[in-house]
Chain A
């Protein structure tokens, strides 16, 4: 028999394959050459050092936003508010980055920590409302996203600049950018953040799998009533899960604020880092290692897609369709399991 662990690995792989096949079929329908299209995508992600640097740059916030969603899901909470928490983290990191003059060894950790705290605070509010008043976290976090968007726009315009559309660049001492990494990759925007992202994945794995707190968080996710009966405080764990999740999301914001851009600008809409994080977490089966792999896949798809219109004439948006379909297939894992078991039976 297939074990459940086997399924956990097989389902995402099959989903990705089905998603890519669907993408190929769509390309065929619209008269493109799927091989040329995917080749362009591949080259757009790995073609040379510049593209590879950009891919890693894109993967970095995805890992963190994926961890944020995954961590909350482990406790049975759907944190749709990662997007807003990313904004708050981004804002806080840039705020610290431009307003202080400190040696790097203090300034950089301070800016990163500020981002985590801001994101955690933005996650704390829905957590508190859920724990104390039973308000559904999905609705609150959706609302918090918009509040974060408009609030950060207003702060950038009125407090962090004199009515300009963006802040000044963060101080050198708070920047994650690295000239040697940039030079090595033909001046892509790759930065040191990916080390933080990988480290945070380790932290998540450690908290979830190796601490009592993590055990309680997972227990609450499995069965709130049983957890309460066993003497755990469900409310406390819900708040804690949202705070840690928000912290990861805030760090994703810091990656953009201190790494990729080095400033914050007025946004007309969401960055989608948070929403893509949902896809990353789902494909990664809410595990730390899975999130890293899934973030890598989505980073490759997103950056590689930019190369598709010029080389193969395929619109970039094809990748959005592929990602959506992958989520569908992962979500419909019941179907995939059913098909696998069916083939298994017939094979006997």
Chain B
């Protein structure tokens, strides 16, 4: 039984770290599939984390037990609107998409910390009173082995993330909307000729990435940190971006990559429990996810095929 306990411990820790990455990476898939690079995922996560914490603190007395859900929804909406900055700059004003994404990152952190100082008069917010708690799934956790591994002590948001990945896969590959979204990312001119509104599709893609990125940041804040400061989101957005590329711009690939990164990050935490990893210096565990990503990109996954028009602004009537 010890092995099962170990597996459930590792998997549990992996999933906690992976969940925000899954949400955010799915957002990245939407944006990049529509042809807009989104380096700004980090900033969108920051915005989501900030809004979730603030609304959680503010609405706690109003909504009681439903507060976490309300704060997640508010975070999604605000982040989607915030993503409009990126959309307007990179789609309408044809700004360099990478640059605009970098600006999003600066801006989100600036706004978050500025308002934190403004409203709480210190460098970080108070700790929230209604975070998301981990729980057992009733009935299913009684199943031997599987119940222990998959249905004990997870956050409900983790199941949501995994379910959403399949839902996003369905939307992108099995619906007319998904076909249009992919077509404007591959060949906007052909899409335009066929009567698809390229700008509209790209705006939708970027705003969806805002909503999902915000959700990712919000989930991280409500499950892991429980407050907002400059150190709440440090690089998770970039890891999510790596998951998008690692997963070859495919929702399920991104899901797998995000879980892998979550696993790699959890290694540095749970390695003290595992006999053969005990003597490995922690620095190797810390850099493992990043080294593995580079190796994977360079080696066995080879050249990932990005959407053809990724990063190119579309100007109507140009050739």
| B32 shortest CB reach to chain A, Å | 12
| A312 shortest CB reach to chain B, Å | 13
Known: A269-B231, A328-B85. A279 touches B106 (CB 8 A): yes
Q: Main SS of the interface on chain B?
A: helix
Name the one of A30, A317, A335 contacting B113, with C-beta atoms under 8 angstroms.
A317
Interface check B62, CB cutoff 8 A: no
Interface check A179, CB cutoff 8 A: no
In chain A, what residue has the closest Cβ to B107? A324
In the docked arrangement, what's the CA distance between A176 and B93, Å? 44
Instruction: Fill in one digit per residue for A312-329: 1 if any B CB lies within 8 Å of its CB, else 0.
Output: 000111111101110110
Instruction: Fill in one digit per residue for B281-319: 1 if any A CB lies within 8 Å of its CB, else 0.
Output: 111001101110110011000010010000000000000
Asked whether, in the complex, the Cβ of B231 is within 8 Å of the Cβ of A268, the reply is yes
Q: Which of B87-134 contact A (CB under 8 A)?
A: 88-90, 93-96, 98-100, 102-107, 109-111, 113-114, 117-118
| A193 shortest CB reach to chain B, Å | 25
Known: A268-B231, A327-B106. A142 touches B117 (CB 8 A): no
Interface check B143, CB cutoff 8 A: no
| A36 shortest CB reach to chain B, Å | 16
| B45 shortest CB reach to chain A, Å | 14
Residues of B with C-beta under 8 A to A334: 93-95
In chain A, what residue has the closest Cβ to B244? A139
Asked whether, in the complex, the Cβ of B283 is within 8 Å of the Cβ of A129, the reply is no
Asked whether, in the complex, the Cβ of A138 is within 8 Å of the Cβ of B39, the reply is yes
In the docked arrangement, what's the CA distance between A57 and B59, Å? 45
Q: Which of A66-104 contact B (CB under 8 A)?
A: 78, 80
In the docked arrangement, what's the CA distance between A129 and B95, Å? 27
Asked whether, in the complex, the Cβ of A332 is within 8 Å of the Cβ of B89, the reply is yes
| A185 shortest CB reach to chain B, Å | 29
Interface check A143, CB cutoff 8 A: yes
Asked whether, in the complex, the Cβ of A151 is within 8 Å of the Cβ of B298, the reply is no
Asked whether, in the complex, the Cβ of A146 is within 8 Å of the Cβ of B102, the reply is no
Asked whether, in the complex, the Cβ of B103 is within 8 Å of the Cβ of A328, the reply is yes
Residues of B with C-beta under 8 A to A332: 88-89, 93, 95, 100
Asked whether, in the complex, the Cβ of B95 is within 8 Å of the Cβ of A331, the reply is yes
Interface check B145, CB cutoff 8 A: no
Interface check A150, CB cutoff 8 A: yes
Known: A328-B100, A331-B96, A334-B95. A317 touches B85 (CB 8 A): no
Interface check A136, CB cutoff 8 A: yes
Asked whether, in the complex, the Cβ of B95 is within 8 Å of the Cβ of A136, the reply is no
Q: Which of B176-229 contact A (CB under 8 A)?
A: none
Interface check A144, CB cutoff 8 A: yes
Q: Which of B226-250 contact A (CB under 8 A)?
A: 230-231, 234-235, 238, 241-242, 245
In chain B, what residue has the closest Cβ to A133? B298
- For this complex, 26 residue pairs linking A to B, each with C-beta atoms less than 8 Å apart, are A80-B39, A125-B294, A133-B298, A135-B303, A136-B245, A139-B241, A139-B242, A139-B293, A140-B294, A143-B293, A150-B283, A153-B283, A154-B286, A268-B231, A320-B106, A320-B107, A324-B107, A327-B106, A328-B85, A328-B89, A328-B107, A330-B99, A331-B95, A331-B99, A332-B88, A333-B95
B: residues with CB less than 8 A from A are 39, 85, 88-90, 93-96, 98-100, 102-107, 109-111, 113-114, 117-118, 230-231, 234-235, 238, 241-242, 245, 281-283, 286-287, 289-291, 293-294, 297-298, 303, 306
Q: A143-B293, A327-B103, A332-B88 are in contact. List 16 more A-B contacts (CB 8 A).
A: A129-B297, A136-B306, A143-B291, A146-B290, A147-B287, A316-B117, A317-B109, A321-B107, A323-B110, A324-B104, A324-B107, A327-B106, A328-B89, A331-B90, A331-B103, A333-B95
